[in-house]
Amino acid sequence: VDTDKDTIFPLLKKGQVPRHLAVIMDGNGRWANRKGLHRIEGHKAGADSVDRIIRACVNLEIPVLSLYAFSTENWKRPDREISALFDLLNYYLKKKFKTLIKNEISLKISGDIARLPPRSRELLKNTIEKTANSKKLILNLCINYGSRDEILMAIEKLVKKRIAMGDIKKISSQPTWQEFEENLYTGDLPDIDLLIRTAGEKRLSNFMLLQSAYAELYFTDVLWPDFDEKELFHAIDEFQKRVRKFGGLTEDVVKSDVLKNINE
Ligand code: FPP
């Protein structure tokens, strides 16, 4: 696998990798099912994929990686699966702590962690604190995350800040996008450039709706445990071929219009 990565990654344009890559990691259950294994085995294999993609981001100098690890809707799953997921998270955090430090990766959480098992909360807090100064990659784990909940929380935070400032006139005035945005979990992160969803589903499922406003979307049928460096290469290669306009025009269209005016 390593030689693979070493031959394909250099084919990507270095200065043009996403500044913020996000992944909806789907298909762990199906992967396990197809192999006649328990769903939990699928999540374990999914954790190996998490490991691979983190390494790849460091390698490709992608500065921010967001991973959808647990949604506000995932609480509907059987207790056994939920506790297995958090056990896996705990195991992973303990096992990977040194790797995070060594590779200068800082951990960040998006989501309401109040509802998480105490041990997970403790491990997350500790890891966040101890990795806070790392600058190579921000690993933004989205746990108990949902976009709509996040928006409501951001409104509450913004209103409270305004009230604390005590300026009656300002309390009900329309905020700028910037003033609003800094109250989101991702207030300190750039917008998502590339959003990948695995396992054939083509929807956002309440994930980072505002942060994806201008994201390039990439869907693949590959199940998350099978998502490797080659799949990531394909996604970024396609990203680099897309023309991003952010509502404006591309340079060549502008130029051809200018030429038309001259010819008239
Ligand atoms: C989606 O597959 C995956 C999840 C709900 C959890 C993601 C968790 C991991 C990749 C494991 C560990 C993560 C970390 C950060 C250590 P699914 O169960 O919805 O699959 P299905 O749609 O095929 O049933």
**Mind listing the pLDDT tens digit for each residue in 91-107?**
999 999 999 999 999 99
51-59 mean pLDDT: 97
Q: What is the pLDDT of residue 50?
A: 98
pLDDT for residue 260 is more than 90? no
Tell me, in angstroms, the distance from the centre of ligand 1 to residue 32's CA.
Answer: 11
Q: Whose CA is nearest to atom 13 of ligand 1?
A: 47
Q: What is the pLDDT of residue 76?
A: 98
pLDDT top residue among 170 and 152: 152
CA dist., res. 68 & res. 109, Å (int): 10
pTM: 0.93
User: Is residue 84 in contact with ligand 1, taking CB distance under 6 Å?
Assistant: no
In percent, the amount of the chain with pLDDT more than 70 equals: 97
189-213 mean pLDDT: 98
Quick one: which atom of ligand 1 is closest to the CA of 92?
A: 16
Packing angle of the helix pair 79-102, 39-60 (nearest 10 deg):
20
Q: What is the pLDDT of residue 181?
A: 98
CA of residue 249 relative to chain centroid, distance: 28
Q: Whose CA is nearest to atom 3 of ligand 1?
A: 26
The strand ranges marked E within the chain are 20-24, 64-71, 105-110, 137-145, 194-197, 216-219
189-209 mean pLDDT: 98
Split at pLDDT 50, 70, 90, the class of 87 is very high
Beta strands 216-219 and 137-145 are unpaired
User: Is residue 24 in contact with ligand 1, taking CB distance under 6 Å?
Assistant: no
Tell me, in angstroms, the distance from the centre of ligand 1 to residue 113's CA.
Answer: 18
Spatial neighbors of 201 by CB under 8 A, at least 6 apart, are 24, 26, 219
Split at pLDDT 50, 70, 90, the class of 2 is low
Which tokens in the block code for residue 260? Answer: 């038309």
Mutate to test the pocket of ligand 1, among 23, 24, 28, 49 (most ligand atoms within 8 A of CB): 28
pLDDT for residue 262 is more than 60? yes
Mutate to test the pocket of ligand 1, among 23, 26, 75 (most ligand atoms within 8 A of CB): 26
Active-site residue list: 26, 74
Query: Vertex 43, ends 71 and 131: CA angle to 5°?
Result: 70
pLDDT for residue 199 is more than 90? yes
Tell me, in angstroms, the distance from the centre of ligand 1 to residue 17's CA.
Answer: 25
CA dist., res. 190 & res. 19, Å (int): 7
CA dist., res. 74 & res. 14, Å (int): 37
pLDDT for residue 49 is more than 90? yes
Q: How many CB atoms lie within 10 A of CB 92?
A: 17
User: Is residue 38 in contact with ligand 1, taking CB distance under 6 Å?
Assistant: no
CA dist., res. 205 & res. 79, Å (int): 21
Instruction: Give strand pairing partners of 140.
Output: 66, 108
176-203 mean pLDDT: 98
pLDDT for residue 257 is more than 80? no
User: Is residue 54 in contact with ligand 1, taking CB distance under 6 Å?
Assistant: no
Tell me, in angstroms, the distance from the centre of ligand 1 to residue 180's CA.
Answer: 31
212-230 mean pLDDT: 98
Quick one: which atom of ligand 1 is closest to the CA of 201?
A: 22
CA dist., res. 176 & res. 182, Å (int): 10
